[in-house]
Structures are given as structure tokens and as C-alpha cells.
């Protein structure tokens, strides 16, 4: 399903990043990095409207030849970025949305773990498994 999932802290450093084809990891890191500008743009462009509707999903950030990059930002300005294969046309907006919601719930659980210090890299096994399950699902 997704080929790369990243969680970015408020200050724009990565809390978590994982990509499915491990051989080309750097490419995805760049892709996520680039997308952050788009995220910022989107937030400031329609910041007011987003806050009013409590809409966290940012939609498609930008498409490349082979991939599509989607974004989601929590109210505490933590960003989730997901890269999906653009050949996968079965993925609709709604599915992406629900995947982000799942990611958000899982992230909340990580935050509630008393042994996790906010701002650290996420090393939770439960979170890892959840992300993995989203990556292998119907490839």
C-alpha cells in the first residue's frame, strides 16, 4: 500500500521514518523532506479554515512520476507524510484518510506511553507493527 511513512515533529525533524523498499531509502527521505515545504504552504494558506473545520487531512501534497505524497497535520503541528505508489489506483481519498486516522491513533498511544519522552525518536514496537501492516496491505 504505502511505500514510505514518516512522522515529523513540530520543529520539522523526523520522529519516525520507514520505507518499504529498503534499497532506495534515501530517495524517500528526500521526497518527505521536500514535501514539508508543501505542508507549510498548505497550513499557512488555509490555516484558518483548517482550524475552524478541525480538518487535519491535507490531501495530496504533490505527485511525482511514480509516487503520490499525502500529508496530515495534527493540532499540535506534528506532521504525518505518506508516500504511495501512483500505479495503485484503488487507493481513494477516503482510504488514505482512514489510514492517516489509524496512524494518528497509534501515535497517540505512543505519546501516552510513560516511557516515551516527547520529542524522541519513536521506537515503539506496536507503532512499528502498525506501520508495517499499512505498508504490506494489498501491495
Instruction: State yes or no: residue 120 binds other proteins (CB under 8 A).
Output: no
Q: Could you tell me the smallest distance in angstroms from the CB atom of residue 115 to other proteins?
A: 5
- Note the Cα 118 to chain centre separation in Å: 18
Grid coordinates belonging to 136: 504490506
Among 51, 60, 126, 139, interactor with other proteins by CB under 8 A: 126
Which residues are within 8 A (CB) of 110 and not within 5 positions of it... i.e. 6 or more apart?
Answer: 116, 122, 124, 126, 127
Give the Cα separation of 99 and 128 in Å (integer). 14
Site for other proteins in 85-114 (CB under 8 A): 109-110, 112-114
Instruction: State yes or no: residue 138 binds other proteins (CB under 8 A).
Output: no
**Binding residues for other proteins, per CB under 8 A?**
109-110, 112-116, 123-126
Amino acid at each position: 500500500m504505502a511505500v514510505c511513512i514518516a512522522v515529523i515533529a513540530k520543529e520539522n525533524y523526523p520522529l519516525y521514518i520507514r520505507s518499504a523498499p529498503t534499497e532506495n531509502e534515501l530517495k524517500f527521505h528526500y521526497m518527505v523532506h521536500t514535501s514539508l515545504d508543501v505542508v507549510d504552504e498548505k497550513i499557512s494558506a488555509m490555516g484558518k479554515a483548517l482550524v475552524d473545520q478541525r480538518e487535519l487531512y491535507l490531501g495530496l501534497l504533490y505527485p511525482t512520476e511514480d509516487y503520490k505524497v499525502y500529508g496530515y497535520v495534527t493540532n499540535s503541528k506534528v506532521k504525518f507524510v505518506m508516500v504511495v505508489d501512483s500505479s495503485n489506483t484503488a487507493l481513494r481519498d477516503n482510504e488514505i484518510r482512514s489510514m492517516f486516522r489509524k496512524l494518528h491513533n497509534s501515535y497517540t498511544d505512543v505519546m501516552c506511553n510513560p516511557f516515551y519522552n516527547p520529542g524522541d525518536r519513536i521506537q515503539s514496537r506496536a507503532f512499528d507493527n502498525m506501520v508495517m501492516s499499512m505498508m504490506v496491505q494489498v501491495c
